[in-house]
Protein backbone atom coordinates (compact mmCIF):
# COMPACT_ATOMS: atom_id res chain seq x y z
CA UNK A 1 0.00 0.00 0.00
CA UNK A 2 1.47 3.32 -1.06
CA UNK A 3 2.10 5.68 1.88
CA UNK A 4 2.35 9.48 1.83
CA UNK A 5 2.85 11.93 4.66
CA UNK A 6 -0.18 14.06 3.78
CA UNK A 7 -3.02 13.32 1.36
CA UNK A 8 -4.94 16.42 0.27
CA UNK A 9 -8.46 16.02 -1.08
CA UNK A 10 -9.12 18.79 -3.63
CA UNK A 11 -6.57 20.64 -5.74
CA UNK A 12 -7.99 24.13 -6.08
CA UNK A 13 -6.01 27.15 -4.89
CA UNK A 14 -6.04 26.18 -1.20
CA UNK A 15 -5.14 22.56 -1.90
CA UNK A 16 -2.36 23.72 -4.21
CA UNK A 17 -1.04 26.16 -1.63
CA UNK A 18 -1.04 23.58 1.17
CA UNK A 19 0.73 21.10 -1.12
CA UNK A 20 3.50 23.60 -1.84
CA UNK A 21 3.97 24.71 1.76
CA UNK A 22 4.22 21.11 2.99
CA UNK A 23 6.48 19.93 0.17
CA UNK A 24 8.85 22.86 0.72
CA UNK A 25 9.23 21.56 4.28
CA UNK A 26 10.20 18.11 3.01
CA UNK A 27 6.92 16.22 3.49
CA UNK A 28 5.59 13.91 0.80
CA UNK A 29 2.18 15.00 -0.48
CA UNK A 30 -0.45 13.32 -2.62
CA UNK A 31 -3.25 15.55 -3.93
CA UNK A 32 -6.45 13.94 -5.21
CA UNK A 33 -8.67 15.98 -7.53
CA UNK A 34 -11.96 14.71 -8.94
CA UNK A 35 -11.87 16.82 -12.14
CA UNK A 36 -9.59 15.91 -15.05
CA UNK A 37 -8.61 19.52 -15.73
CA UNK A 38 -8.66 22.67 -13.57
CA UNK A 39 -11.91 24.59 -13.48
CA UNK A 40 -11.20 27.11 -16.21
CA UNK A 41 -13.20 30.10 -15.01
CA UNK A 42 -12.50 32.73 -12.38
CA UNK A 43 -14.21 32.53 -9.03
CA UNK A 44 -12.18 34.67 -6.66
CA UNK A 45 -10.97 37.93 -8.20
CA UNK A 46 -8.98 39.60 -5.40
CA UNK A 47 -6.74 38.79 -2.48
CA UNK A 48 -5.08 40.81 0.26
CA UNK A 49 -1.55 41.67 1.34
CA UNK A 50 -1.29 38.71 3.69
CA UNK A 51 -2.20 36.34 0.85
CA UNK A 52 0.48 38.04 -1.28
CA UNK A 53 3.00 37.37 1.47
CA UNK A 54 1.96 33.70 1.58
CA UNK A 55 2.24 33.44 -2.21
CA UNK A 56 5.76 34.84 -1.93
CA UNK A 57 6.55 32.23 0.73
CA UNK A 58 5.31 29.59 -1.72
CA UNK A 59 7.87 30.77 -4.28
CA UNK A 60 5.57 32.19 -6.95
CA UNK A 61 5.76 35.96 -6.34
CA UNK A 62 8.07 36.55 -9.32
CA UNK A 63 5.69 34.69 -11.68
CA UNK A 64 2.47 36.55 -10.95
CA UNK A 65 2.89 39.55 -13.28
CA UNK A 66 0.75 38.24 -16.18
CA UNK A 67 -2.22 37.35 -13.95
CA UNK A 68 -2.38 40.17 -11.36
CA UNK A 69 -2.83 43.93 -11.23
CA UNK A 70 -3.25 46.46 -8.44
CA UNK A 71 -6.84 46.79 -7.34
CA UNK A 72 -6.29 50.54 -7.41
CA UNK A 73 -9.44 51.82 -5.76
CA UNK A 74 -12.81 50.76 -4.44
CA UNK A 75 -15.81 53.05 -4.70
CA UNK A 76 -19.36 52.62 -3.40
CA UNK A 77 -22.04 54.69 -5.14
CA UNK A 78 -25.76 54.89 -4.57
CA UNK A 79 -28.44 54.54 -7.23
CA UNK A 80 -28.17 58.25 -8.07
CA UNK A 81 -24.42 58.05 -8.72
CA UNK A 82 -23.32 59.78 -5.51
CA UNK A 83 -20.15 58.45 -3.90
CA UNK A 84 -20.82 56.85 -0.52
CA UNK A 85 -17.32 55.50 0.13
CA UNK A 86 -13.99 55.70 -1.67
CA UNK A 87 -10.88 53.75 -0.68
CA UNK A 88 -7.59 53.97 -2.55
CA UNK A 89 -5.54 50.81 -2.18
CA UNK A 90 -2.02 51.43 -0.92
CA UNK A 91 0.91 50.22 -2.97
CA UNK A 92 2.72 48.78 0.05
CA UNK A 93 0.63 47.67 3.01
CA UNK A 94 1.83 46.40 6.39
CA UNK A 95 2.66 42.97 4.96
CA UNK A 96 5.10 44.53 2.49
CA UNK A 97 2.67 43.97 -0.38
CA UNK A 98 -0.36 45.88 -1.74
CA UNK A 99 -3.41 45.71 0.52
CA UNK A 100 -5.47 44.35 -2.38
CA UNK A 101 -4.62 42.71 -5.69
CA UNK A 102 -7.00 41.81 -8.51
CA UNK A 103 -6.19 38.56 -10.32
CA UNK A 104 -7.29 36.00 -12.88
CA UNK A 105 -7.88 32.78 -10.94
CA UNK A 106 -7.25 30.22 -13.70
CA UNK A 107 -3.88 31.84 -14.30
CA UNK A 108 -3.01 31.79 -10.60
CA UNK A 109 -4.02 28.14 -10.26
CA UNK A 110 -1.82 27.24 -13.22
CA UNK A 111 1.17 28.96 -11.61
CA UNK A 112 0.59 27.18 -8.30
CA UNK A 113 0.31 23.85 -10.10
CA UNK A 114 3.56 24.62 -11.93
CA UNK A 115 5.28 25.36 -8.63
CA UNK A 116 3.96 22.16 -7.05
CA UNK A 117 5.24 20.10 -9.97
CA UNK A 118 8.76 21.44 -9.34
CA UNK A 119 8.91 20.10 -5.80
CA UNK A 120 10.07 16.60 -4.88
CA UNK A 121 7.60 14.32 -3.16
CA UNK A 122 4.46 15.76 -4.80
CA UNK A 123 1.98 13.49 -6.59
CA UNK A 124 -1.22 14.83 -8.16
CA UNK A 125 -3.96 12.34 -9.09
CA UNK A 126 -6.73 13.50 -11.42
CA UNK A 127 -9.45 12.59 -12.24
CA UNK A 128 -9.68 10.61 -9.00
CA UNK A 129 -12.30 10.83 -6.29
CA UNK A 130 -11.96 9.92 -2.63
CA UNK A 131 -14.79 7.58 -1.69
CA UNK A 132 -13.73 6.29 1.71
CA UNK A 133 -11.63 7.16 4.75
CA UNK A 134 -10.66 4.71 7.51
CA UNK A 135 -8.56 6.07 10.36
CA UNK A 136 -6.03 4.01 12.30
CA UNK A 137 -3.70 4.99 15.13
CA UNK A 138 -0.80 5.74 12.82
CA UNK A 139 -2.42 6.39 9.42
CA UNK A 140 -5.55 6.95 7.39
CA UNK A 141 -6.47 4.47 4.67
CA UNK A 142 -8.00 6.32 1.74
CA UNK A 143 -10.10 4.66 -0.94
CA UNK A 144 -9.72 6.40 -4.28
CA UNK A 145 -11.82 5.78 -7.39
CA UNK A 146 -10.16 6.54 -10.72
CA UNK A 147 -10.32 5.69 -14.41
CA UNK A 148 -9.02 2.16 -13.77
CA UNK A 149 -11.16 1.40 -10.72
CA UNK A 150 -10.62 1.70 -6.97
CA UNK A 151 -7.41 1.56 -4.98
CA UNK A 152 -6.46 2.14 -1.37
CA UNK A 153 -3.63 4.42 -0.32
CA UNK A 154 -2.36 5.34 3.13
CA UNK A 155 -1.48 8.74 4.56
CA UNK A 156 -0.30 9.87 7.95
CA UNK A 157 -2.65 12.85 7.66
CA UNK A 158 -5.58 13.74 5.40
CA UNK A 159 -6.69 17.33 4.75
CA UNK A 160 -9.95 18.09 2.97
CA UNK A 161 -9.64 21.13 0.71
CA UNK A 162 -12.62 19.92 -1.27
CA UNK A 163 -14.91 22.94 -1.18
CA UNK A 164 -18.23 23.89 0.32
CA UNK A 165 -19.75 20.45 -0.40
CA UNK A 166 -16.81 18.71 1.22
CA UNK A 167 -16.77 14.91 1.37
CA UNK A 168 -14.12 15.08 4.09
CA UNK A 169 -16.23 17.41 6.26
CA UNK A 170 -19.18 15.04 5.93
CA UNK A 171 -16.93 12.16 6.98
CA UNK A 172 -15.94 14.12 10.09
CA UNK A 173 -19.63 14.41 10.93
CA UNK A 174 -19.21 18.13 11.43
CA UNK A 175 -22.21 20.35 11.62
CA UNK A 176 -22.18 23.75 9.95
CA UNK A 177 -23.18 27.01 11.63
CA UNK A 178 -25.05 28.99 8.99
CA UNK A 179 -25.58 32.70 9.62
CA UNK A 180 -28.28 32.86 6.96
CA UNK A 181 -26.83 35.55 4.69
CA UNK A 182 -28.27 34.44 1.32
CA UNK A 183 -28.73 36.50 -1.82
CA UNK A 184 -28.74 35.39 -5.46
CA UNK A 185 -26.23 37.08 -7.75
CA UNK A 186 -25.67 36.72 -11.48
CA UNK A 187 -21.91 36.68 -12.11
CA UNK A 188 -20.60 37.54 -15.58
CA UNK A 189 -16.93 37.09 -16.46
CA UNK A 190 -16.05 39.15 -19.51
CA UNK A 191 -13.05 39.83 -21.76
CA UNK A 192 -13.27 43.27 -23.42
CA UNK A 193 -12.15 43.21 -27.05
CA UNK A 194 -10.02 46.33 -26.63
CA UNK A 195 -8.03 47.73 -23.72
CA UNK A 196 -10.20 50.09 -21.75
CA UNK A 197 -9.71 52.04 -18.54
CA UNK A 198 -12.46 51.60 -16.00
CA UNK A 199 -12.89 54.41 -13.47
CA UNK A 200 -13.14 53.42 -10.72
CA UNK A 201 -11.42 50.10 -11.21
CA UNK A 202 -13.70 48.46 -8.64
CA UNK A 203 -17.25 49.71 -8.19
CA UNK A 204 -20.20 48.74 -6.00
CA UNK A 205 -23.50 50.34 -7.03
CA UNK A 206 -25.74 50.29 -3.97
CA UNK A 207 -28.97 50.78 -5.92
CA UNK A 208 -32.07 49.28 -4.28
CA UNK A 209 -33.58 48.82 -7.74
CA UNK A 210 -30.65 46.57 -8.72
CA UNK A 211 -27.51 46.18 -6.58
CA UNK A 212 -24.59 45.58 -8.93
CA UNK A 213 -20.83 45.24 -9.04
CA UNK A 214 -18.12 45.99 -11.60
CA UNK A 215 -14.59 44.88 -10.72
CA UNK A 216 -11.27 43.83 -12.19
CA UNK A 217 -10.71 40.10 -12.61
CA UNK A 218 -7.03 40.47 -13.49
CA UNK A 219 -5.28 41.85 -16.58
CA UNK A 220 -7.62 41.82 -19.57
CA UNK A 221 -10.53 40.42 -17.60
CA UNK A 222 -13.53 42.05 -15.93
CA UNK A 223 -16.39 40.88 -13.77
CA UNK A 224 -19.91 42.26 -13.52
CA UNK A 225 -22.39 41.00 -10.95
CA UNK A 226 -26.10 41.74 -10.55
CA UNK A 227 -28.32 40.83 -7.62
CA UNK A 228 -31.71 39.20 -8.12
CA UNK A 229 -34.33 41.57 -6.75
CA UNK A 230 -37.66 40.72 -5.11
CA UNK A 231 -40.31 39.62 -7.59
CA UNK A 232 -37.82 38.56 -10.26
CA UNK A 233 -38.14 34.94 -11.40
CA UNK A 234 -35.10 32.68 -11.47
CA UNK A 235 -35.75 31.72 -15.11
CA UNK A 236 -35.87 35.34 -16.23
CA UNK A 237 -32.85 36.29 -14.13
CA UNK A 238 -30.45 33.63 -15.42
CA UNK A 239 -31.31 33.86 -19.13
CA UNK A 240 -28.65 34.99 -21.60
CA UNK A 241 -31.00 37.78 -22.64
CA UNK A 242 -30.96 39.03 -19.06
CA UNK A 243 -27.16 38.85 -19.01
CA UNK A 244 -26.68 41.13 -22.01
CA UNK A 245 -29.47 43.47 -20.93
CA UNK A 246 -27.79 43.98 -17.55
CA UNK A 247 -24.29 44.25 -19.01
CA UNK A 248 -25.67 46.98 -21.24
CA UNK A 249 -25.96 49.15 -18.12
CA UNK A 250 -22.16 49.38 -18.35
CA UNK A 251 -21.94 49.66 -22.15
CA UNK A 252 -20.84 46.04 -22.49
CA UNK A 253 -22.27 44.38 -25.61
CA UNK A 254 -21.57 41.32 -27.79
CA UNK A 255 -19.91 43.74 -30.19
CA UNK A 256 -17.23 44.94 -27.76
CA UNK A 257 -16.72 42.03 -25.35
CA UNK A 258 -16.67 38.23 -25.06
CA UNK A 259 -18.71 36.60 -22.31
CA UNK A 260 -16.41 33.94 -20.82
CA UNK A 261 -19.10 32.53 -18.58
CA UNK A 262 -22.09 33.46 -16.55
CA UNK A 263 -24.02 31.79 -13.78
CA UNK A 264 -26.00 32.43 -10.62
CA UNK A 265 -24.49 31.87 -7.20
CA UNK A 266 -26.08 32.23 -3.79
CA UNK A 267 -24.06 33.93 -1.08
CA UNK A 268 -23.37 32.00 2.10
CA UNK A 269 -21.94 32.80 5.53
CA UNK A 270 -21.13 29.64 7.41
CA UNK A 271 -18.40 27.79 9.28
CA UNK A 272 -17.88 24.14 10.10
CA UNK A 273 -18.20 23.27 13.77
CA UNK A 274 -15.40 20.72 13.66
CA UNK A 275 -12.18 21.15 11.67
CA UNK A 276 -10.26 18.12 12.94
CA UNK A 277 -10.85 14.58 14.06
CA UNK A 278 -7.66 12.67 14.81
CA UNK A 279 -5.62 12.50 11.61
CA UNK A 280 -8.23 14.12 9.39
CA UNK A 281 -8.62 17.90 8.97
CA UNK A 282 -10.36 20.41 6.69
CA UNK A 283 -9.34 23.79 5.28
CA UNK A 284 -10.57 26.53 2.94
CA UNK A 285 -14.18 26.40 1.75
CA UNK A 286 -14.56 22.99 3.35
CA UNK A 287 -14.19 24.77 6.71
CA UNK A 288 -15.80 28.16 6.02
CA UNK A 289 -17.67 30.05 3.32
CA UNK A 290 -18.31 33.78 3.33
CA UNK A 291 -19.97 36.39 1.13
CA UNK A 292 -17.62 37.71 -1.59
CA UNK A 293 -17.87 41.41 -0.76
CA UNK A 294 -14.49 41.73 0.99
CA UNK A 295 -12.60 39.30 -1.25
CA UNK A 296 -11.60 37.18 1.74
CA UNK A 297 -12.56 33.63 0.72
CA UNK A 298 -9.30 32.54 -0.90
CA UNK A 299 -7.18 34.75 1.37
CA UNK A 300 -8.69 33.01 4.41
CA UNK A 301 -7.99 29.63 2.84
CA UNK A 302 -4.35 30.58 2.30
CA UNK A 303 -4.14 31.54 5.99
CA UNK A 304 -5.53 28.11 6.86
CA UNK A 305 -2.89 26.44 4.69
CA UNK A 306 0.06 28.27 6.25
CA UNK A 307 -1.19 27.83 9.83
CA UNK A 308 -1.67 24.12 9.25
CA UNK A 309 1.51 23.55 7.25
CA UNK A 310 4.00 24.62 9.91
CA UNK A 311 2.14 22.77 12.64
CA UNK A 312 1.95 19.52 10.64
CA UNK A 313 5.66 19.92 9.91
CA UNK A 314 6.58 20.18 13.61
CA UNK A 315 4.42 17.18 14.47
CA UNK A 316 5.87 15.20 11.57
CA UNK A 317 9.43 15.94 12.72
CA UNK A 318 8.65 14.92 16.29
CA UNK A 319 9.20 18.44 17.60
CA UNK A 320 5.58 18.89 18.70
CA UNK A 321 2.82 16.81 20.20
CA UNK A 322 -0.17 16.01 17.99
CA UNK A 323 -2.25 18.19 20.34
CA UNK A 324 -0.62 21.17 18.62
CA UNK A 325 -3.03 20.55 15.74
CA UNK A 326 -5.96 21.40 17.99
CA UNK A 327 -4.74 24.99 17.98
CA UNK A 328 -5.34 25.10 14.22
CA UNK A 329 -9.12 25.29 14.58
CA UNK A 330 -8.92 27.40 17.75
CA UNK A 331 -6.90 30.06 15.95
CA UNK A 332 -8.31 29.92 12.45
CA UNK A 333 -11.99 29.48 13.28
CA UNK A 334 -11.98 32.46 15.62
CA UNK A 335 -9.92 34.47 13.16
CA UNK A 336 -12.15 33.74 10.16
CA UNK A 337 -15.26 34.87 12.01
CA UNK A 338 -13.94 38.41 11.71
CA UNK A 339 -13.66 38.10 7.93
CA UNK A 340 -17.15 36.58 7.73
CA UNK A 341 -18.67 39.38 9.83
CA UNK A 342 -16.93 42.09 7.80
CA UNK A 343 -18.08 40.46 4.56
CA UNK A 344 -21.64 40.34 5.88
CA UNK A 345 -21.48 43.97 7.00
CA UNK A 346 -20.31 45.06 3.57
CA UNK A 347 -22.93 42.89 1.91
CA UNK A 348 -25.67 44.38 4.06
CA UNK A 349 -24.78 47.82 2.70
CA UNK A 350 -24.67 46.60 -0.89
CA UNK A 351 -27.68 44.26 -0.95
CA UNK A 352 -30.32 46.64 0.45
CA UNK A 353 -33.44 46.66 -1.79
CA UNK A 354 -35.81 48.62 0.44
CA UNK A 355 -35.81 52.19 -0.88
CA UNK A 356 -36.57 53.80 2.49
CA UNK A 357 -33.83 51.83 4.24
CA UNK A 358 -31.43 52.60 1.36
CA UNK A 359 -32.14 56.33 1.68
CA UNK A 360 -31.32 56.15 5.39
CA UNK A 361 -28.13 54.24 4.64
CA UNK A 362 -27.13 56.85 2.04
CA UNK A 363 -27.72 59.71 4.47
CA UNK A 364 -25.52 58.11 7.12
CA UNK A 365 -22.69 57.28 4.69
CA UNK A 366 -22.77 60.68 2.99
CA UNK A 367 -22.62 62.45 6.35
CA UNK A 368 -19.69 60.29 7.39
CA UNK A 369 -17.94 60.99 4.10
CA UNK A 370 -18.30 64.74 4.63
CA UNK A 371 -16.75 64.49 8.09
CA UNK A 372 -13.64 62.82 6.74
CA UNK A 373 -10.83 64.87 5.31
CA UNK A 374 -8.47 61.95 4.73
CA UNK A 375 -8.66 58.35 3.65
CA UNK A 376 -11.65 56.60 5.28
CA UNK A 377 -10.80 54.57 8.30
CA UNK A 378 -11.58 50.90 7.78
CA UNK A 379 -11.39 47.99 10.14
CA UNK A 380 -8.32 45.92 9.49
CA UNK A 381 -8.61 42.38 8.21
CA UNK A 382 -5.30 41.67 9.93
CA UNK A 383 -6.85 40.73 13.24
CA UNK A 384 -4.80 39.49 16.21
CA UNK A 385 -5.14 35.79 16.94
CA UNK A 386 -7.46 34.83 19.78
CA UNK A 387 -5.88 35.10 23.23
CA UNK A 388 -4.37 32.12 24.97
CA UNK A 389 -3.51 30.13 21.82
CA UNK A 390 0.18 29.61 21.12
CA UNK A 391 1.08 32.99 22.53
CA UNK A 392 3.97 33.89 24.73
CA UNK A 393 2.92 33.76 28.38
CA UNK A 394 6.22 33.62 30.23
CA UNK A 395 6.70 37.37 30.01
CA UNK A 396 3.81 39.18 31.67
CA UNK A 397 1.92 40.65 30.03
CA UNK A 398 2.63 38.84 26.74
CA UNK A 399 3.16 42.16 24.96
CA UNK A 400 2.26 42.05 21.30
CA UNK A 401 1.46 38.33 21.34
CA UNK A 402 -0.84 37.31 18.51
CA UNK A 403 -0.59 40.49 16.44
CA UNK A 404 0.31 40.19 12.75
CA UNK A 405 3.97 41.05 12.28
CA UNK A 406 4.47 43.74 9.62
CA UNK A 407 7.16 43.31 7.00
CA UNK A 408 9.67 45.87 5.83
CA UNK A 409 12.82 46.02 3.76
CA UNK A 410 16.13 45.05 5.31
CA UNK A 411 19.71 44.72 4.16
CA UNK A 412 21.88 41.75 5.14
CA UNK A 413 25.44 41.28 3.85
CA UNK A 414 24.86 43.85 1.13
CA UNK A 415 21.61 42.28 -0.09
CA UNK A 416 18.49 44.43 0.28
CA UNK A 417 14.86 43.42 -0.03
CA UNK A 418 11.80 42.37 1.94
CA UNK A 419 12.57 40.59 5.21
CA UNK A 420 11.09 37.24 4.11
CA UNK A 421 13.18 37.25 0.95
CA UNK A 422 16.46 38.32 2.51
CA UNK A 423 16.33 36.70 5.96
CA UNK A 424 13.96 33.85 5.14
CA UNK A 425 10.64 32.49 6.34
CA UNK A 426 9.84 30.24 9.29
CA UNK A 427 10.36 31.04 12.94
CA UNK A 428 12.40 34.20 13.49
CA UNK A 429 13.84 35.78 16.62
CA UNK A 430 14.51 39.45 15.90
CA UNK A 431 16.65 41.24 18.48
CA UNK A 432 17.71 44.80 19.10
CA UNK A 433 20.89 43.54 20.79
CA UNK A 434 23.57 40.99 19.90
CA UNK A 435 21.68 37.63 20.05
CA UNK A 436 24.64 35.67 21.39
CA UNK A 437 24.40 37.72 24.58
CA UNK A 438 20.69 36.99 24.94
CA UNK A 439 20.45 33.24 24.32
CA UNK A 440 21.79 30.42 26.44
CA UNK A 441 22.98 27.21 24.77
CA UNK A 442 19.70 25.39 25.40
CA UNK A 443 17.57 28.12 23.82
CA UNK A 444 19.91 28.33 20.84
CA UNK A 445 19.75 24.55 20.31
CA UNK A 446 15.96 24.58 20.36
CA UNK A 447 15.77 27.42 17.85
CA UNK A 448 18.23 25.56 15.63
CA UNK A 449 15.97 22.50 15.73
CA UNK A 450 13.15 24.70 14.41
CA UNK A 451 15.40 26.09 11.66
CA UNK A 452 14.65 29.49 13.17
CA UNK A 453 16.29 32.65 11.89
CA UNK A 454 18.06 34.62 14.62
CA UNK A 455 18.94 38.13 13.55
CA UNK A 456 19.89 41.45 15.08
CA UNK A 457 18.31 44.59 13.61
CA UNK A 458 20.08 47.92 13.56
CA UNK A 459 19.11 51.30 12.09
CA UNK A 460 19.80 52.00 8.44
CA UNK A 461 23.19 53.68 8.17
CA UNK A 462 24.53 52.17 11.41
CA UNK A 463 28.17 51.01 11.43
CA UNK A 464 28.74 47.58 9.91
CA UNK A 465 29.01 44.75 12.47
CA UNK A 466 32.44 43.52 13.39
CA UNK A 467 33.92 40.09 12.59
CA UNK A 468 32.15 37.16 14.23
CA UNK A 469 28.94 39.07 14.88
CA UNK A 470 25.57 37.38 14.47
CA UNK A 471 23.60 38.02 11.25
CA UNK A 472 22.70 41.70 11.23
CA UNK A 473 19.83 43.29 9.30
CA UNK A 474 19.78 46.99 8.59
CA UNK A 475 16.18 48.09 9.17
CA UNK A 476 15.72 50.15 5.99
CA UNK A 477 12.08 51.05 6.66
CA UNK A 478 12.32 51.25 10.48
CA UNK A 479 9.68 48.52 10.77
CA UNK A 480 11.39 46.17 13.22
CA UNK A 481 13.00 48.65 15.58
CA UNK A 482 9.72 50.59 15.72
CA UNK A 483 7.84 47.38 16.49
CA UNK A 484 10.21 46.57 19.35
CA UNK A 485 9.92 50.12 20.65
CA UNK A 486 6.13 49.96 20.50
CA UNK A 487 6.14 47.01 22.91
CA UNK A 488 9.15 48.20 24.92
CA UNK A 489 10.94 44.99 23.97
CA UNK A 490 14.47 43.86 23.18
CA UNK A 491 13.34 40.89 21.08
CA UNK A 492 10.30 39.59 19.21
CA UNK A 493 9.67 35.94 18.35
CA UNK A 494 7.74 35.55 15.10
CA UNK A 495 5.84 32.44 14.04
CA UNK A 496 6.08 30.93 10.52
CA UNK A 497 2.61 32.32 9.69
CA UNK A 498 3.85 35.89 10.37
CA UNK A 499 2.10 36.34 13.73
CA UNK A 500 3.97 37.32 16.87
CA UNK A 501 4.45 34.56 19.41
CA UNK A 502 5.64 37.07 22.00
CA UNK A 503 8.21 39.64 23.01
CA UNK A 504 10.87 39.91 25.69
CA UNK A 505 11.08 43.12 27.69
CA UNK A 506 14.69 42.61 28.78
CA UNK A 507 17.65 40.32 28.03
CA UNK A 508 16.71 37.90 30.80
CA UNK A 509 13.32 37.41 29.20
CA UNK A 510 14.64 36.09 25.89
CA UNK A 511 15.53 32.54 27.02
CA UNK A 512 12.23 32.45 28.92
CA UNK A 513 10.33 33.41 25.77
CA UNK A 514 12.02 30.64 23.78
CA UNK A 515 11.34 28.14 26.57
CA UNK A 516 7.70 29.21 26.59
CA UNK A 517 7.46 28.36 22.90
CA UNK A 518 9.05 24.97 23.54
CA UNK A 519 6.55 24.14 26.28
CA UNK A 520 3.52 25.28 24.29
CA UNK A 521 4.58 23.34 21.21
CA UNK A 522 5.14 20.20 23.24
CA UNK A 523 1.76 20.29 24.92
CA UNK A 524 -0.10 21.86 22.01
| Residue 451, domain extent | 392-522
Indicate the pTM of the whole model: 0.95
Within this chain, do residues 419 and 512 fall inside the same structural domain, yes or no? Answer: yes
Residue 186 lies in a domain: no
Within this chain, do residues 397 and 342 fall inside the same structural domain, yes or no? Answer: no
Which pLDDT does position 76 carry in this prediction?
97
Residue 510 lies in a domain: yes
Dist. CA 377–CA 310, nearest whole Å: 33
Dist. CA 302–CA 288, nearest whole Å: 12
CATH, residue 418? 3.40.30.10
Looking at the structure of the chain, the number of domains it has is 2
Residue 261 lies in a domain: no
Longest dimension (CA), the chain: 77
Using alpha carbons only, how large is the chain's radius of gyration in Å?
Answer: 24
Residue 244 lies in a domain: no
Residue 374's region, left for phi above 0, alpha for psi from -120 to 50, else beta, is: beta
Dist. CA 175–CA 159, nearest whole Å: 17
Which pLDDT does position 313 carry in this prediction?
98
Q: Are 171 and 165 in contact (CB under 8 A)?
A: no
Residue 130 lies in a domain: yes
Dist. CA 78–CA 81, nearest whole Å: 5
Domain boundary residue among 313, 346, 379?
346
Which pLDDT does position 377 carry in this prediction?
42
Within this chain, do residues 25 and 158 fall inside the same structural domain, yes or no? Answer: yes
Within this chain, do residues 275 and 137 fall inside the same structural domain, yes or no? Answer: yes
Domain boundary residue among 346, 376, 409?
346
Within this chain, do residues 411 and 477 fall inside the same structural domain, yes or no? Answer: yes
Residue 77 lies in a domain: no
Within this chain, do residues 401 and 479 fall inside the same structural domain, yes or no? Answer: yes
Within this chain, do residues 61 and 134 fall inside the same structural domain, yes or no? Answer: yes
CATH, residue 107? 3.50.50.60
Which phi and psi angles does 427 have, rounded to 5°? Answer: -65, 145
3-class SS at 406? coil
Within this chain, do residues 400 and 339 fall inside the same structural domain, yes or no? Answer: no
Within this chain, do residues 119 and 31 fall inside the same structural domain, yes or no? Answer: yes
Which pLDDT does position 464 carry in this prediction?
83
Within this chain, do residues 141 and 11 fall inside the same structural domain, yes or no? Answer: yes
Task: Name the nearest CA neighbour of 252 among 291, 207, 212.
Answer: 212
Residue 238 lies in a domain: no
Within this chain, do residues 55 and 143 fall inside the same structural domain, yes or no? Answer: yes
- HSE, CB side, 13 Å, CA atoms: give it for residue 331: 28
Residue 28 lies in a domain: yes
Domain boundary residue among 288, 313, 346?
346
Q: Could you report the average pLDDT of every consecutive run of 10 residues in the chain (524 residues)?
A: 96 98 98 91 90 98 96 95 92 92 96 98 97 97 96 98 97 96 97 93 97 97 97 94 97 97 95 97 98 94 98 97 94 93 96 98 94 52 67 61 95 96 98 92 95 97 81 96 96 96 94 93 77
Which phi and psi angles does 270 have, rounded to 5°? Answer: -155, 160
Which pLDDT does position 388 carry in this prediction?
56
Within this chain, do residues 277 and 341 fall inside the same structural domain, yes or no? Answer: yes
Could you tell me which residues are beta bridge partners of residue 83? 77
Which helix (DSSP H) or strand (DSSP E) does residue 56 occupy? Answer: helix 49-57
Amino acid sequence: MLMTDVLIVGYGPVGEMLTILLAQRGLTVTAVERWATPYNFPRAVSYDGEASRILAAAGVADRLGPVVESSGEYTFKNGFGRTLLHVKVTGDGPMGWPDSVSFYQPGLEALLAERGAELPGVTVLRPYQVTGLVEHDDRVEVTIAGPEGEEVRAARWVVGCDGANSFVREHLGSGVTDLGFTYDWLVCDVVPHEAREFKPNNLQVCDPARPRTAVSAGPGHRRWEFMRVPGESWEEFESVESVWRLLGLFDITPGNATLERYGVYTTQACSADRWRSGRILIAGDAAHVMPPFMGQGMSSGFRDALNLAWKLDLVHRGLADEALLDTYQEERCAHVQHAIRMSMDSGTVICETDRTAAAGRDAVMLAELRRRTSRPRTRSLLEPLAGGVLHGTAVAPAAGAGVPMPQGRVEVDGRAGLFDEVVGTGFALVCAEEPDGLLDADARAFLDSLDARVVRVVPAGAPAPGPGAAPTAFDLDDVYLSHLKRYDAVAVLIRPDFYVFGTAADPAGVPALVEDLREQVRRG
